[in-house]
Homo-oligomer: A and B are copies of this chain.
Amino acid sequence: MEKVCVLGAGSTKYGRLDDSISDITIQASVDAIESAGIEPKEIKAGYISNVFGVADKQVHLGPVVMSNLGISERPSLSIESACGSGSVAFREAFTNVAGGFYDAVLVTGVEKVTHTGTEWTTTYFSYCSDFFYEGGAGASFPGLFASIARAYLNEFKATEEDLAEVAVKNHDNGLLNPKAHLRKKITVDDVMKSAVVASPLKLYDCCPFSDGASSVILCNESFAKEHNKDYIQVIGSGRGGSSAALQGRKHLTTIPSTKIAAEAAYKMAGVTPKDIDFAEVHDCFTIAEIIDTEDLGFFEKGQGVQAVREGQTKRNGQIPINPSGGLKSKGHPIGATGVGQIVEVYDQLTGKAGERTVKDVKIGLTQNFGATGASCAVHIFQSV
């Protein structure tokens, strides 16, 4: 198996963007290509991750991107795994490079939905749930995560203020990220006073709907070495699944797919949770980040909330979580999110994270899931 490296990374700003889905996909791709210091023709295949291309009237995005890069002859495809699409596209690119099928590929995630409005977006996003049992019965994602949050608060004596602390931390991080969607300092009081979306979750417990595109160049080690640019190595990759509908789970306070994916990634990397210096995790709602950090093994079950209280997950804490601002503040363009997490890890491990730099880091982890965690991918990266 070839060693796989991330040679370059780029991103548009996340937020409400005016350009078309094709344009922002190309912008992020060009950014990553320039970051890697390669020519487009050196890219042998394109992996696009996207969920709702229909929102901006363009599916089959791969050929549009490849054509605009001047490499229309190269194969491409789109991958969808709900909000976990980006990390799954990255995983497929990883196995193809590791398996020797390509020496260098482009992975670009994108979403462009804000122009459709909240009703369209909430409705279409609910098609990512098990629609027969959930979306179709009125349970859209805020409601589903509210059930998870209520179960966690009850089981582990946590409070709504504890959840709010996650939002406050991630907004503090996002303030330092020039590409973040919501760059605004908030307090626990702001969160507590924001509109109830689905009790106990309030508006500021929820990530925003965002547009945006993120891109990385993935290659084998010899390709990376030839190009004389900063690169990081992918040392672990794991995937897993959970029952599509929440009612199929034994417990609401853990996400099985995260545990399965993490176990596989740790095994491949030959590391344990204690070896991880920082992580970008899937905080679509504040409760999700707390559960993620437990499922990833950073904290014992039920102790994630205590870690938040103690500031362990802050940028200067023992295990910084979401230094980018996370989905909560950086934003959540669903097809782009998983790739965007990897862009952050690349930036942190190659000293390009500017003001939000986490000090003395060598190993970073990303965890990105779809829906209520029906699908999940975990990747582990090491500086070289």
A residues with a Cβ closer than 8 A to B are: 1, 20, 22, 45, 51-54, 57-60, 62-64, 66-67, 71-82, 88, 92, 95-96, 98-101, 124, 127-132, 135-136, 239-245, 248, 256-257, 260-261, 370-371, 374-375, 377
* A22 contact set on B, CB distance < 8 A: 131-132
Closest B-chain residue to A52, C-beta based? B54
Given A1-B100, A63-B243, A95-B101; 5 other pairs, CB 8 A cutoff: A57-B135, A59-B128, A74-B241, A75-B375, A99-B99
How long is the Cα–Cα vector from A101 to B268 in the complex, in angstroms?
A: 12
Copies in the complex: 2
Listed A/B pairs (29) with beta-carbon separation below 8 Å:
A52-B54, A54-B124, A59-B82, A59-B128, A60-B80, A60-B244, A60-B375, A62-B375, A63-B130, A67-B130, A72-B241, A72-B244, A72-B248, A73-B242, A73-B257, A73-B260, A75-B240, A75-B375, A75-B377, A76-B81, A76-B375, A77-B92, A77-B375, A78-B81, A79-B80, A92-B92, A95-B99, A95-B101, A99-B100
A241 & B64 in contact (Cβ 8 Å cutoff)? no
A374 & B60 in contact (Cβ 8 Å cutoff)? yes
Q: Which 10 A-B pairs have the closest CB atoms?
A: A99-B99, A63-B374, A75-B239, A63-B244, A60-B82, A72-B243, A78-B80, A60-B128, A67-B244, A64-B244
How long is the Cα–Cα vector from A57 to B20 in the complex, in angstroms?
A: 24
Nearest CB of chain B from residue A18's CB, rounded to whole Å? 15
How long is the Cα–Cα vector from A100 to B88 in the complex, in angstroms?
A: 18
Given A54-B52, A63-B371, A99-B95, decide whether A80 and B82 contact each other with a Cβ distance below 8 A. no
A59 & B127 in contact (Cβ 8 Å cutoff)? yes
Given A76-B241, A245-B67, decide whether A51 and B59 contact each other with a Cβ distance below 8 A. yes
A58 & B241 in contact (Cβ 8 Å cutoff)? no
A1 & B99 in contact (Cβ 8 Å cutoff)? yes
A241 & B75 in contact (Cβ 8 Å cutoff)? yes
* A78 contact set on B, CB distance < 8 A: 79-81
* A82 contact set on B, CB distance < 8 A: 59-60
Which of these, B52, B60, B256, contacts A73 with CB under 8 Å?
B256
Nearest CB of chain B from residue A260's CB, rounded to whole Å? 6
Which of these, B63, B74, B248, contacts A370 with CB under 8 Å?
B63
